[in-house]
Homo-oligomer: A and B are copies of this chain.
């Protein structure tokens, strides 16, 4: 990684322009609010930028990805508008060491489904459930500095069964007042990249203004920075007996 890791928050940026409620909650776009939450926690150690769907190549050119340490992804209504070429490119960078933090409805983004290999489907209901986010791995770095539980007054409900591979680490499990549970904080290692999925957050609620949610996202960003500065994907290697240098 660079001396100062670079974070890029990718926002779909559609609801903000079509739905007044969302525009009021996130007047500068959800990506901007997410960025501010990361800066609030990591601003002295990380550089944080944003980009959106409508940029050329969705703002995710080869050059941009090569100079990014952690990509944060928020999308919802326009998953299918993300080009397959860009998805393939992001996957290639993740396998080479790009960190990826996927938020909320990003569970159904092309990039997350491509990296998981499953449908990534779940149960849902948008009726202002109270969500309590419980830590089940208290020494995990992503769980540091947050209360047990995190209380979110009103949220969209996401419930099990969540069709993902068994996470490498299960950090958070949520309780919803309507009766459901959800594996809301999960880590996965894919190739040389680290992936953190965190479910709290929806365009209809002010969740990305919530202090503890911002802390978790920042923790996830810090955790997702690769330990391998060379940024190279694993490759097929033929090697001779006794020659382990490959």
Contacts and interface: CB of A to CB of B under 8 A. Distances in A.
B189 A180 contact: no
Nearest to A150: B244
Contacts of A183: 136, 173
A173 to B, nearest CB: 5
24 contacts: A95-B163, A116-B117, A118-B190, A123-B237, A132-B180, A132-B244, A134-B159, A136-B183, A138-B161, A139-B189, A139-B192, A139-B193, A139-B194, A139-B227, A139-B228, A159-B239, A160-B173, A163-B233, A163-B234, A165-B168, A166-B168, A168-B169, A173-B181, A177-B179
A148 B135 contact: no
Contact of A174 (B181, B191, B226): B181
A178 interface: yes
Contacts of A246: 123
A238 interface: yes
Interface string A216-233: 000000000011100001
A109 interface: no
A141 B235 contact: no
A151 interface: yes
Interface of A: 91, 95, 97, 108, 114-119, 121-125, 127, 130, 132, 134-141, 144, 147-149, 151, 159-163, 165-166, 168-170, 173-181, 183, 188-194, 226-228, 233-242, 244, 246
A93 B237 CA distance: 32
Contacts of A242: 178-179
Contacts of A125: 238-241
Question: Which 4 A-B residue pairs are closest in the complex by CB-CB distance?
Answer: A163-B234, A115-B117, A178-B241, A121-B236
